[in-house]
Amino acid sequence: MGADGRKSIFITGAASGIGLAAAKRFAAEGWFVGLADIDGAGLKLAQAAIGAGNCSVHKLDVRDRAGWKKEIAAFGKATGGRMDALLNNAGIANYGYFEDQTDDEIDRQLDINVRGVANGARAGLELLKATPGSTLINVASCAGLFGAPKMAMYCATKFAVKGLSEALDIEFERHGVAVKCIMPWFVDTPILQAGSQGSNENIADAIRQGGSEVYTVEEAADVIWTSVQGKDLHWIVGKAGKQLRFAARFMPGSIRKRMKAMALQG
């Protein structure tokens, strides 16, 4: 089905979590949505959830540059050559001490969380440039504000996405493309079940031990929707994330002390 002149957004990681919630939100606002994910079965369920007439489906591994070109071209054909927004949302995490993570776990986080975002920004730029008022939206994390124990590589990738977004915000201005960096606190998605090979411990366990708040995917989708209408570069999801941003700026020593205590748990 075609977009029929509607505004359009291409979303990676659209089969679940924040990506699916964002797809539902934008579709409810009358947008045409490109659903992209490596999970083919999940894509079919996502398509059914928002209606075949409101979306196009794209089986995509964000690490695959050729795949990006192919699916962006298909999306452009469906939308008449426009892309009002590209949401780089796909990401993974592994939880555990740095030395306990396998080479494959480290490489996959780097490849999906960083290379995947860079691939999307490059592959989508021509359609974004061709669409007045378009926006590139990159999902980083509050893990990109301060390094956390047992999340070293995940934090590194999210710091990278934050830095990339800040640089592209400046670079893409000359193309008329806005850039937004979304930084969620812990959100109730499958990523919270991430652990490491040989360990039963995961991110959800750490959250429960620390008594931290967990926000809904709908709250994250609301922030993403609002970001497209707003002018700011950085968008935090959750009150706890805003508190962390303040503390990271004005009380870094206290956060480091708390993180050290967390590292010794278990």
2 is a domain residue: no
The CATH number covering residue 75 comes to 3.40.50.720
Q: Which residues pair with 57 in a beta bridge?
A: 35
Domain that residue 228 falls in: 8-264
Q: Which residue has the higher pLDDT, 124 or 147?
A: 124
Between the CA of residue 222 and those of 10, 103, 228, 232, what are the distances in Å?
17, 36, 10, 15
Is it the case that residue 198 has pLDDT exceeding 60?
no
Residue type, 37: D
Q: Which residue has the higher pLDDT, 207 or 73?
A: 73
65 is a domain residue: yes
1 is a domain residue: no
Q: Contact 86/36 with Cβ under 8 angstroms?
A: no
145-157 confidence digits (pLDDT tens): 888 888 899 999 9
Residue 1 gets which letter from DSSP? -
Residue 14 gets which letter from DSSP? T
At 4, the pLDDT band (50, 70, 90 cuts) reads: confident
At 212, the pLDDT band (50, 70, 90 cuts) reads: low
- Which pLDDT score, from 0 to 100, does residue 260 have? 60
Rounded CA-CA distance 219/83 in Å is 24
187 is a domain residue: yes
Range picked from 27-41, 185-199, 203-217, 245-259 for highest mean pLDDT: 27-41
3 is a domain residue: no
At 232, the pLDDT band (50, 70, 90 cuts) reads: very high
DSSP element (H, E) containing 206: helix 203-210
232 is a domain residue: yes
Is it the case that residue 131 has pLDDT exceeding 90?
yes
Is it the case that residue 46 has pLDDT exceeding 80?
yes
140 is a domain residue: yes
Q: Which residue has the higher pLDDT, 245 or 137?
A: 137
The pTM (predicted TM-score) of the whole model is 0.87
Query: Known catalytic residues?
Result: 154
Number of domains in the chain: 1
42 is a domain residue: yes
Q: Contact 91/220 with Cβ under 8 angstroms?
A: no
- In 3D space, the residue among 180, 63, 164, 165 whose CA is nearest the CA of residue 123 turns out to be 63
DSSP element (H, E) containing 18: helix 17-28
Is it the case that residue 206 has pLDDT exceeding 60?
no
